[in-house]
Amino acid sequence: MTRRAGRALIVLMLAAILLAPPSARAEEPPLLAVVSQQAGRLTLVDPVAGRVVGEIALDKVPAGIAVTRDGRTAYVTHPDLGQVSRVDLTAPAVTARYRIGREPFGIALDSRDESLLVTDWSGDALIQLDAATGAELGRVTVGRSPAGVVLDQDGAHAYVADRESHTVSVVDLAQMRRVATWPTGTAPFALALSPDGRRLYVANVRSNDLSVLEIPNGREIARPRVGLMPYGVAVSSDGARVVVTNQQSGKLAWLEAGTGTVHSEERIGEYPEGVLNVGGGLFAVALWADDALCIVPDIPGSGCRSVIKLPPGPRLLAVAPRQTGPQ
């Protein structure tokens, strides 16, 4: 091939890439939706570019957040108001307010984004709401002061961290019935599932450790000490590593998922709380006292790749996929 022909081929290849429809190009990375509790704000962040791309005013003291799979709608709990806010991320604005329980805190969407599962901190219950209308569809009594909630891979069961009962409640969602109670360390708060759905990782705030539970039997196979007041937990995409935020020490602990042993620790900022696997080899950590979001590569000891300033009191966060379909 001549040099001129080679240059012509490169031009044609670049043109094909640029003119290709969006579906033919590489998928854009998701955004992050971060709730700032003190400021009463929801911030949309591009974790790859390391910048804020949007901000939405919320009612006071927002806490938990869940986002639909199309990235268009977020649901935010407000424990002090007994309320869940529905937020249109395309508007962007709060479009509905649902009254629920006493102190709604943790929140998750079902596998079809049709209903919400919300923990009621002072009501000791898991409540199911219609996501479109806010109508209560069911509730079940769980342990005392339920905090985090996650669903299994097929959406059949919810796992609830019962902070003051020191257990995880397993709820059959088809019947809205508690079918098992699994012991943990002291004051379980945050939960994360392994990618294969066979292990549940539970951060225990007061015993400063991590319960590693087998699914479906709930047997605790390890409980390593991870640091002072672990408030968040996430798992790498390949399931090989677990990361835990330790609020009081300002550190991120890295664990080997296979053995449950702590691999290393690194200081990342003041009062780290929520942590999330963003995908693309990145984790995001909300730094409460620094009013910032730390983007951490999935490499132990690598530190923050970028630090993004946020409104005061960032605490919990969720992946917000780039919006798809007609706008």
% residues pLDDT > 90 (the chain): 87
Domain assignment of residue 256, given as a range: 27-320
| Domains identified in the chain, total number | 1
**What pLDDT score was predicted for residue 18?**
39
Q: What is the pLDDT of residues 152-204, one digit of tens each?
A: 989 999 999 999 999 999 999 999 999 999 999 999 999 999 999 999 999 99
Contact assessment for residue 239 and residue 257, using Cβ atoms and an 8 Å cutoff = yes
Looking at the predicted structure, is the pLDDT value of residue 261 above 50? Answer: yes
Q: What is the pLDDT of residues 293-324, one digit of tens each?
A: 999 999 999 999 999 999 999 999 999 998 74
Q: Is 135 a domain residue?
A: yes
Rg (CA), the chain: 21
The region of weakest confidence among 79-83, 206-210, 221-225, 256-260 is 256-260
Q: Is 192 a domain residue?
A: yes
Mean pLDDT of 236-261: 95
- In sequence order, the β-bridge partners of residue 32 are 45, 319
Q: Is 283 a domain residue?
A: yes
**What pLDDT score was predicted for residue 322?**
84
Using CA atoms, how far apart are residues 120 and 126, in angstroms rounded to an integer?
6
Q: Is 68 a domain residue?
A: yes
Work out the mean pLDDT of the chain and round it to a whole number.
Answer: 91
**What pLDDT score was predicted for residue 27?**
58
Domain holding 40: CATH number? 2.130.10.10
Q: Is 7 a domain residue?
A: no
Q: Is 255 a domain residue?
A: yes
Q: Is 3 a domain residue?
A: no
Using CA atoms, how far apart are residues 84 and 55, in angstroms rounded to an integer?
18
What pTM was computed for the model? 0.90
Query: CA torsion, points 29, 86, 201, 46, in degrees to nearest 10?
Result: 20
